[in-house]
Amino acid sequence: MSRGGMRCGAGRPGHQAKAEQLQRVDVREWARRGYLRGPCSFSWTWNRGGERSGSIGVSVHGPEALTLRYTFSTANDRREVAERLTLINTCPALGGTRQWFACPRCARRAAILYLRGGYFGCRVCKRVAYSSQSEGELDRLWRRQRRIEARLGEHWRRPKGMRHRTHQRLIDHLLKLEERREDALVMWMGRLNFHF
């Protein structure tokens, strides 16, 4: 396996489309909003950077099927697409029901379908990766630090209501992350043949 270029600790595929960059539909969100209860129609829009980046029309035929209607444009042509999707219902252990999409390509159960190449499909069929999967070690350490800092107050102060023990544990974790980041940076610099 390759080293992943100059990224420290990488080696993960960076060539796949990223989930965060693609249009997607999430059955869990539609179920929460009550859109999948009975025969109805609604439109769904995507926004990127505050501007509308796409929309689809959805026709729910019943508890097990729906149709997505949208226009797909390429450099050469413009196509009207009507894609029929099957819904799968499961019963979780604690009761109730949970709905899933059946991927139109492989029939695998999926909560999210991604629009790529003019048609929707699951993450596996559409070869979609998350951005975090192609991060290097330094990027992962920075992301973990940002997540912990979001729980703390400004300048790592203990927020009101947080236990002292929890605050100290988070501070210790941040200090360990800083040490690991410094070690990873030294290793990366060593690979570039920098000498101190």
Domain ranges of the chain: 19-129, 135-191
The pair of three-digit structure tokens given for residue 163, joined into one six-digit string? 């236990």
DSSP codes joined into one string, 89-147: EE--TTSS-EEEEEPTTT--EESEEEEETTEEE-TTTTTEE-GGGG--HHHHHHHHHHH
Residue pLDDT, tens place only, 114-154: 988 889 999 888 888 877 776 677 888 888 898 999 999 88
* pLDDT category of residue 90 using cuts at 50, 70 and 90: very high
Q: Tokens 């029939």 — which residue?
A: 107
* pLDDT category of residue 195 using cuts at 50, 70 and 90: low
Contact at 8 Å (CB) between 98 and 90?
yes
pTM (2 d.p.): 0.67
**Beta partners for 110?**
101
